[in-house]
Structure 1
Amino acid sequence: MSARFKVGAWLMPQHTSVERLRAAWREADRRGVDSIWVWDHFFPLTGDPDGTHFEGWTLLSAMAVETSHAEIGVLVTDHDYRNPDLLADMARTVDHLSGGRLVLGLGAGWIERDYAEYGYEFRSGRERAEALAGYVERVKARLAKLNPPPLRDIPLLIGGDGKRVALRTVARHADAWNTVVWRFEDGNQTLDEWCARTDRDPAEIERTCFLTAPEHLDDVERLVAAGARHIIMQLGDPFDLEPVDRLMSLSRKAAA
């Protein structure tokens, strides 16, 4: 490793309370993480499927006013759940609440139960991925019309690693890309290929990935060598930040 990478904390809003989430994001911000995230689901993904759970964008509004350092975002927003013009307005508002620290994360969704119980049509994976490009264009168009505008050009992060559709959309539209640790290297190579095919400078897209367990810290050196510049640790309640501290230590060593 030869350069510092950014470090994020991804707080899973399941099997927990709002009070514990608030304490976790305040402490993560105090420790100096570069980014803090929640997710966009309606039910827990692990453990009791009917356990406690909270909605991501509402949490993000609170996080915006209770933190001051880290960039914040939803990793990632399912484009099927909200009208794109509405989401642009939500993003602009949260950007103002945070003082210009929002990263807009978008993706094609994948949890069928969320769709079924909340009344959304669950299309095929390819159909959902194909629809994302048009959605992104509408979000950007609405952001350009809002008064007042966002405090900065809100960075767009797209999550997903589908080789034929998702990564093409990343190459054409995104400022950052995210996937899980074990899919990063293969997806990163494919993204470079799409950048070449769409005449996009690959250096313009920040490469990010997330770790789902502390043992994945052993993969950090390999990930950074492969191009990862922002590594995010997923955490569940009780939100032990020790793995994030270790990740920050690895980042400092990489910059030394």
Structure 2
Amino acid sequence: MRYGEFLEIVPDQPFKVRSLQDNNTATQLLKSGRITAAVLPPELAGDLPLIWEKTYLPPADKTAATIAFVGGVLFVLLGVVGAITTTHPLVVFANFFVDTIRGIPMLVIILYVGLPLAGALKSASNGYLDLQMMTRGIIAIAIGYSAYMAEIFRAGIEAIPKGQIEAARTMGLREWHVARFIVVPQAIAIVLPALGNEFIAMLKDTSLVSILSVRDLTQRMREFQAQSFLAFEPFNSAALVYVLLTLIAASGIKALDRVVNKSRGHAED
């Protein structure tokens, strides 16, 4: 963020700052004296003096978070392949991964990925892979929930009648077309409620990353409680926020489920 500064600021007056998205509006308000400084997006700031700059995640950690997301998807696909076939070369590893990860508590996964594993990667890369604690938590949660997602998708795929797949193959459809037009649409409709439950559980499990000193909602609640010495208010506030988040997520999932089921009903008609 960059702030536009003007020398006409009168001492001892309130320092009024406003976040704006347009240079012209910021210039007019600054010249009129209604504000003292303007917060502008970096791409609009031009050559204005830099006072303070903050990014949510550094570029290296953004890359790591993207890799964690892609890796989580790959782990899910790997688990699904291992669950629905017995001939794939990676079936042994896929089954081992799913069974092992599902047997480890999420807190242990977060601690393992966030501390010893991240430290080993940092040492092996000579300090290049020095990830922030938040990124470590994201990677740990992605690994942990990919195993559960794989089992959910496996159940959804196995729920599709085998006759439909065999009929599609008899008609000459390739495996990719069978998956795209027959398996995937029906599997998504079947597993959507279970995926919604896992998403809500994952949303609540993000509070566990506070064990890595990540300043999420839970960690900030603990910091405020330590500073204020209030017994219940910080915990009640954090619980209320989590309840609101889960209610919003549940409402969105139910709406999406209705849309998918409605589309599925039209397709069957």
TM-score of the aligned structures, taking structure 2 as reference length:
0.24
TM-score of the aligned structures, taking structure 1 as reference length:
0.25
Higher relative contact order (CA 8 A, sep 6+): 1
Structure with a larger share of its residues in strand: 1
Structure with a larger share of its residues in helix: 2
Pick the structure with greater CA Rg. 2
